Amino acid sequence: MSQAVSLGLMGSTPADVIRALAPRLERLGFDALWLNDVPGGDSLAGLRVAAEATATLRLATGVIPVDRRPADSLDLDGLPAERTTIGIGSGGAARPLGLVRDAVHRLRERTSASVVVGALGPRMRRLAAEESDGVLLNWLTPDAAAEAMRDLTADSAAAGRHDVRGILYVRTIVEAAARPNLVVEAAKYDSFPSYAANFERLGFAAIDATIDGAEGLAAYLRAPDEGSSVDEIVLRAITPSGSSTELEAFAERAASWIQAARS
């Protein structure tokens, strides 16, 4: 079965842009719209706008830091649970594993929506395999993503679970004019101590885990061996200014890359 390909935006994207873009994503065959939860941008509010404008497009958050926004504080009203994924992460919590585990359990009590966990290291990935519906990976090359999926498959099997999904966020540009913003985004993550340590361990820099052309996407869609394919790739759209026109052009170009990679 073909891997799902979705599009990701900042949670601070204006409502009118989301309202115009979401139906286009649905028509183009994208699996989901993911909204990053950031200070000053409520991903759940944005998804409610997308839900009203679409019928089948899945809706997802990537990810809500539960140290800043506890599970009990999240407003889930207006979101169709059957096509919603609540992505959560630890943020800057002192005890991240316990906090995330508790948040998963609380969300299970509140909604039938899918719950996935953003994970950088192996312990959080193992928790995701044991407790949630999936793991949201970030800043990985195709080879590193394949290795992470092998680990997820093993952790899930050890927990007696076989339906835990692996989702990968990949920063993506479709035009040269957006490259300066991509470089800035990559440099920002290179500067974060936790990510810098992970990049050093894995042997690549953040910019190496990005997409800037059709062949780059194809590399992520080609699995080196059975059991190493991510279930969903989220193309985190980076454009020169983030305008509605640029995002619509991004979606059209990316959709053509997906079609070419699958043909």
pLDDT value for 223: 72
Distances (CA, A) of 220 to 3, 39, 167, 228, 260: 10, 30, 12, 11, 13
The CATH superfamily of 4-262 is Luciferase-like domain (3.20.20.30)
Residues 6 or more apart in contact with residue 5 via CB below 8 angstroms: 30, 31, 217, 221, 232, 233, 234, 235, 254, 258
3-state secondary structure of 101: helix
- Provide DSSP, 213-237: SHHHHHHHHS-SSTT---SEEEEEE
CB 160 within 8 A of CB 131: no
Cβ count within 10 A of residue 41 = 16
Q: Report, as ranges of residue numbers, the positions in the chain whose pLDDT lies below 50.
A: 1
pLDDT value for 2: 75
Q: Report the Cα 146 to chain-centroid distance in Å.
A: 16
3-state secondary structure of 22: helix
What is the C-alpha separation between 235 and 65, in angstroms, rounded? Answer: 20
CB 129 within 8 A of CB 152: yes
Q: Indicate the pTM of the whole model.
A: 0.96
pLDDT value for 20: 96
CB 29 within 8 A of CB 4: no
The residue ranges of every structural domain in the chain are 4-262
pLDDT value for 57: 98
Q: What is the pLDDT of residues 138-185, one digit of tens each?
A: 999 999 999 999 999 999 999 999 899 999 999 999 999 999 999 999
pLDDT value for 1: 47
pLDDT value for 222: 85
Residues 6 or more apart in contact with residue 64 via CB below 8 angstroms: 37, 43, 44, 74, 86, 87, 88, 89
What is the C-alpha separation between 225 and 90, in angstroms, rounded? Answer: 31
- The count of residues in the chain is 263
Cβ count within 10 A of residue 50 = 25
